[in-house]
Structure 1
Amino acid sequence: MNTSTKSKFHPGNIFLAVLALLALGTGIWYFTGYFLRNKRYQETNDAQVEAYINPVSARTGGYIKKVLFEEHQEVKSGDTLVILDDRENRQRVTEAEAAVDDSRAQLAVLEAGITSAQTATLVNKDQINGAKAKLVLQQADIRRFKNLIKEEAITGSDLESVQSRYDVSVSDYSASENNLKTSYAKIAELKSRRALLAADFKKKTAELELARINQAYTVIVAPYTGRMGKKTILEGQQIQPGQPLVSIVNEKDKWVTANFKETQVSGMHIGQEVEIRLDAIDNKVYKGVIEAIAASTGAKFSLLPPDNSTGNFVKIVQRVPVKIRFAPSDLSPVKAGMNALVSVKKENKI
């Protein structure tokens, strides 16, 4: 055997040849699988896990008395997060309570005045009845005395005396009627004042309720179950109404926003099943369904959407956001912001 034949079957050359064959086979297997999968699925790796991340804001201002949470701590709905110094709010509640008590007392005094005035009308009516009875009696006396004058049984001075008593009775009767009218007018006045005091009492009651609401705002609680974000506040810090204090991630509601190419979404529909693979979690395939398909491409939602009418036109494949809801499963390892690979199986067109 010559030297060239020996070098041809050298172990190193055999190893390189085997390695090349393996690489070629692996490449063929990979690209064959890729093309077969691409024929069956629409896929994109331009996808991320989303969740509601809402800021917890202060409804009232003041100094922070206590901070009762830590960064990334899991909390439940209603858990106390921050307590503010509430001394000023408590004083406002006390002041509002005193105003309500004062208004209630004024109403009670006015009601008593109305009751007294209504009782006075009964007395006035009795006075009118008495004056009327006396007036009728005086009228009878005048008629009787006039007959006696004709018979010369009495003198003219006796008739004048009776006439005077009759005139007094007429005056008393008129005065009694006027007193009754005055009592009715007083009742009407008191009732109009009662309407004003009732409105003022309602206003003071509303102010008291508002003061109690502001008092309750000094205790800031978690709006829902989730995980806290970065802690940026400390005890003793002054905050203002509406100031964001911390963000909270709602871990009970997560979904994936996948940005498919515009050429991929034509066969997709709401309710279609989806496979989700997360870069951070190996060997785990999550199931999901398409919940919504955007009405326009993502570029149209941008702050400065492209304007092709300027003449600088370069055709770029656009992306359409698709919202995908996870199927019920354990999503505790899934975090908002994780990258995902989303696969949607192509459906056969009839």
Structure 2
Amino acid sequence: MTDSRGKTNKWRVGGRIMLILLLVVALVFSGRWLYWRLNHVTTDAAYIKADMANIAPEVPGKIIEVTVKEGQAVQAGQVLLRIDPEQLDRHLGLADADLASTHSRKERSQAELNQARLTVPATIDAARAALEVAGKQKIKAQANLDHWQLQYKRFKQLYDRQTIGKSRFDEVEMSWRAAAADFNAAEAQISYAAARLKEAEAARAVIIKAEAANREVADGIHKAEEARKLAKLNRSRCEIKAPINGVVARILVREGDYATPGRPALGIYNPDTRYIEARFEETKVRYITPGKKAAFTVDNFPNRKLAGKVVVVTPASAAEFALIPRDISAGEFTKVVQRIPVRITIDNLNDHPDLLPGLSCEVSIAK
């Protein structure tokens, strides 16, 4: 009986000691956890992100080939998909035809301009020469008229005194009237020559018009050349190429689909740009500054501790960039703590290819 009681007392003492030890261990771990919590800020609203390029076609058409697969690594300039070029080939052919036609019009316009530059000055010179000749003819006609007018007066006096016969007087009178007609004809010729000169000088406008037409055709050539460049550029856009080195994250189209300009067809991200965007409560941001070390775990690998460094504390809350912003014009019945995005780089990034964009993280930063 005594031995039985001794054993029971020993078990009781041992149990008490174990309980005390367990309490001490719990207090130690609880104290360490509490101390850690008091000296760190944490958040589980954190995600791995990367610079993502949403690639959209710039020309419409049927997709005839998708050359990559999701998850495939690609290099900048690598062809990702091809669009049927038939329609754009026809546009390029039309642009070539328009350019050739415009060059033909340019040649014709230049020939007309050259002809105008030759014929108009020659016509003006001829009209001036004709006016000069008409002027001399008038002087000659004037002298002849004066001579026969004087003769007419003399023979008129002789005829009135019946010194000469009527036939002789009629001859002089006829010559005088002929001289007057010649003088009038000379004056008319001068008027005609002057009008022709004005007409010839007015023809200078033909040169101006031809020069304007030539410039217009030259502008047309420039326009046709630009149209051809655009058609050629659009033709080259039938092959959609990767703008950056990266990994194909998502393919949104398939062969046979119709490509619409501006509508994303693929998504590519650059693994070298991966980072963590952690959103901390506004009450904790005062403890976070660029350059501070950060520790984090990824939900996909909860037992692996990783490290990083704060690089940017966004100077605005995440709510400011929401698609539907808050309406606080009438106040808020419940105060909502806002979250501030913090950008964190990942140490030894290339050693962690399994950290994929979109994975959730838990981040802690020492105060």
TM-score tier, shorter chain, comes to 0.7 to 0.9
Give the structure 2 partner of residue 89 of structure 1: 88
Give the structure 1 partner of residue 63 of structure 2: 64
Measured after TM superposition, the shift of residue 84 of structure 1 is 1.1
* Aligned pairs (5 A) from 1:316-331: 318-326=337-345, 329-331=348-350
Give the structure 2 partner of residue 239 of structure 1: 259
TM-score for the superposition, normalised by structure 1: 0.81
CA distance in 2, matches of 1:85, 1:302: 36
Give the structure 2 partner of residue 2 of structure 1: 3
Q: Which whole-Å deviations, capped at 9, do the CAs of 1:258-313 have from their partners, x for residues lacking one?
A: 222333223434x24131323238555323124123523649947484879799x5
Measured after TM superposition, the shift of residue 329 of structure 1 is 4.0
CA RMSD of aligned residues (A): 3.5
CA pair 149-315 structure 1, distance change in 2 beyond 3 A: closer
Measured after TM superposition, the shift of residue 18 of structure 1 is 7.3
Measured after TM superposition, the shift of residue 177 of structure 1 is 0.9
Letter in structure 1 aligned against 2:190: V
Letter in structure 2 aligned against 1:41: H
Say which one has the larger Rg: 2
CA pair 57-38 structure 1, distance change in 2 beyond 3 A: same
Measured after TM superposition, the shift of residue 78 of structure 1 is 1.9
More helix by share: 2
Measured after TM superposition, the shift of residue 162 of structure 1 is 4.5
TM-score for the superposition, normalised by structure 2: 0.78
Give the structure 2 partner of residue 24 of structure 1: 23
Letter in structure 1 aligned against 2:206: K
* Aligned pairs (5 A) from 1:153-168: 155-156=175-176, 159-160=179-180, 162-163=182-183, 166-167=186-187
CA distance in 2, matches of 1:42, 1:267: 8
Q: Which whole-Å deviations, capped at 9, do the CAs of 1:34-61 have from their partners, x for residues lacking one?
A: 2222333222233212223343222222
- 3-state SS of paired residue (1:260): strand
Give the structure 2 partner of residue 289 of structure 1: 310
Give the structure 2 partner of residue 204 of structure 1: 224
Letter in structure 1 aligned against 2:349: D
CA distance in 2, matches of 1:109, 1:227: 56
1:275 aligns with 2:274: no
CA pair 19-197 structure 1, distance change in 2 beyond 3 A: farther
- 3-state SS of paired residue (1:252): helix
Measured after TM superposition, the shift of residue 210 of structure 1 is 2.8
Q: How many residues align?
A: 341
Measured after TM superposition, the shift of residue 85 of structure 1 is 1.2
Query: 1:275 touches 1:288 (CA, 8 Å); kept in 2?
Result: yes
Greater displacement, 152-161 / 324-333: 152-161
- 3-state SS of paired residue (1:33): helix
CA distance in 2, matches of 1:22, 1:52: 52
5+ residue gaps, structure 1? none
Measured after TM superposition, the shift of residue 94 of structure 1 is 0.5
Identical aligned pairs, as a percentage? 17
Measured after TM superposition, the shift of residue 3 of structure 1 is 0.7
* Aligned pairs (5 A) from 1:175-254: 175-254=195-274
